[in-house]
Amino acid sequence: MYRLILIFLALIAIFYIFRCKAGGEFPGREYMPDMAHSRPYDVYYPGPGTNSDILNESGAQEVDYLLFKDRTTARKPVEGTIARGYAPYPYNNNEEGYEASVAYQNPYTANLKSGEIPKDVLDVGKEKYDVYCGVCHGAKGEGDGSISILSGGPYAGVPNYYADTYMEMPEGKMFHSVHYGRNDMGSYASQLTKDERWKVIAYIKSMQQKKAMDQKKLGKAAALMYVQGNKASIPTSPTGEFISSKLTSIDKLEKGKAITLDNVFFDTGSANLRAESYYELNLLKDILTNNAGSRVEISGHTDNAGNPASNLTLSQRRASAVFNYLLSQGVGEGQVTAQGYGEARPVAPNDTPENMQKNRRVDFEVID
């Protein structure tokens, strides 16, 4: 008898635990309900006017609108969350944030050894610049756009990108200004995506780069560093002049081609390499590393002043100094040789100080 009563009570309990309301709604009682009914944050859910449990729980006002046929609508993102793959701008809209933005680097121009900004980046940058920037700054960035006072417009004080302040402005500061707006310029964050903003800035820097190449007599790589505000990083000669190297534009080596190392420096009458030579020689090291199957000869040359035998010895010692530096940087010994030629191979007549300087040189020639 007791067994039957227990069985009966158990059946009643099971009924109450698993019974469901009509229409497939939530049951009154469940065993481990989270396993049966997921509570994810769904992007789309029943809209106002559908008697949604979610809306009723939140106390939202019921309003009948038909965004989709099934009367669902998109929910707002969870507060404090961001989209996957999106990185928010990390600096605040104040002077501290503006100064800190120097560390923000343009992904399209950072660490470009050749200084050659990709054409597809510049194409997009120019297109957006012409639409959003040219009206103020002008087609060439000289501050003479159609609404500038320089062109009869109402606005004064439009920056000329070639003034010193802007010529050497870090790209991070430019991005900060475009993102938030600065002085009389409003924010362009709603008109330009983050990617487009960087491309516009790359285009502006390309215009400034050309100006620096012309005015400062810099190569592309050095000119780009200059307009990025990295003037201190530009290599200099022993006399403090900015230097650039043709090696930045070399990727593959061609057999039989001889190239002068323009920025290899020695003390007068000495074979001791000056530290200013390391920039050029490190570029050569990278080229040799990327062309491991090639062999080159490092050759030393002098002018015709002094004793020919002494000149020959000096040229050999200088070629060997370059050879030894390359080996110390990891270049294989079988990839380079060193040879001094003294005054035997001039590239100019030894009739002026300038021509004699041209003959005092170190070359490398691809021999295999």
The CATH number assigned to the domain holding 294 equals 3.30.1330.60
Q: Which of 178, 207, 231 is the last residue before a domain boundary?
A: 231
What does the pLDDT read at residue 108?
96
- One domain for residues 65 and 144: no
Q: Are 303 and 346 in contact (CB under 8 A)?
A: yes
Q: 149 versus 22: which is more confidently predicted?
A: 149
Q: Average pLDDT over the chain, rounded to whole?
A: 85
Q: What is the pLDDT of residues 52-94, one digit of tens each?
A: 444 444 444 444 444 566 666 666 777 788 878 778 899 999 9
Question: Which residues on adjacent β-strands are paired with residue 340?
Answer: 300
What does the pLDDT read at residue 51?
45
Domain count, the chain: 3
Residue 226 CB neighbour total at 10 angstroms? 24
**Nearest to 132, CA basis, from 77, 190, 73, 59:** 190
Distances (CA, A) of 165 to 104, 184, 195, 268: 18, 17, 25, 39
Q: What is the pLDDT of residues 11-60, one digit of tens each?
A: 776 665 555 444 455 555 555 555 555 556 667 666 554 444 444 444 44
- One domain for residues 300 and 203: no
- On the CB side of 260, CA atoms within 13 Å amount to 13
What does the pLDDT read at residue 172?
96
Residue 241 has pLDDT above 80, yes or no: yes
Count the helix, strand and coil residues of the chain and give each as a percent rounded to the nearest 5.
Answer: 45, 10, 50
275 belongs to a structural domain:
yes
DSSP strand E in the chain: where?
44-46, 72-74, 258-260, 296-301, 336-340, 361-366
97 belongs to a structural domain:
no
What does the pLDDT read at residue 9?
77
Q: What is the 3-state secondary structure (H, E, C) of 71-103?
A: CEEECCCCCCCCCCCCCCCCCCCCHHHHHHHHH
What does the pLDDT read at residue 61?
44
Q: What is the pLDDT of residues 154-211, one digit of tens each?
A: 988 899 999 999 999 999 999 999 999 998 899 999 999 999 999 999 999 999 999 9
Alpha-carbon distance of 89 to 178, in angstroms, equals 12
Q: Give the CATH number for residue 161.
A: 1.10.760.10
Residue 165 has φ and ψ, to the nearest 5°, of: -60, -40
Q: Take residue 10 and report the two structure tokens written for it.
A: 């158990």
241 belongs to a structural domain:
no
166 belongs to a structural domain:
yes
- One domain for residues 302 and 335: yes
82 belongs to a structural domain:
no
- One domain for residues 178 and 129: yes
242 — pLDDT class (breaks 50, 70, 90): confident
Question: Whole-prediction pTM value?
Answer: 0.68
57 belongs to a structural domain:
yes
What does the pLDDT read at residue 15?
63
- One domain for residues 44 and 151: no
Alpha-carbon distance of 267 to 130, in angstroms, equals 51
Task: State the burial class of residue 184 (Cβ atoms within 10 Å of its Cβ: 0-12, 13-18, 19+).
Answer: exposed
**What's the mean pLDDT in 298-312?**
94
Q: Are 298 and 249 in contact (CB under 8 A)?
A: no
253 belongs to a structural domain:
yes
Q: What is the pLDDT of residues 16-27, one digit of tens each?
A: 555 544 445 555
Domain that holds residue 13: 2-70
**What's the mean pLDDT in 256-274?**
91
147 — pLDDT class (breaks 50, 70, 90): very high
- One domain for residues 212 and 280: no
**What's the mean pLDDT in 127-134?**
96
Question: Which residues on adjacent β-strands are paired with residue 45?
Answer: 73
260 contact partners, CB below 8 Å, separation of at least 6:
347, 361, 362, 363
- One domain for residues 223 and 263: no
- One domain for residues 8 and 63: yes
Q: 300 versus 83: which is more confidently predicted?
A: 300
Backbone conformation region of residue 44, classed left if phi is above 0, alpha if psi is from -120 to 50, else beta: beta
109 — pLDDT class (breaks 50, 70, 90): very high
174 belongs to a structural domain:
yes
The packing angle between helices 220-227 and 194-215, to 10°, is: 120
**What's the mean pLDDT in 322-345?**
94
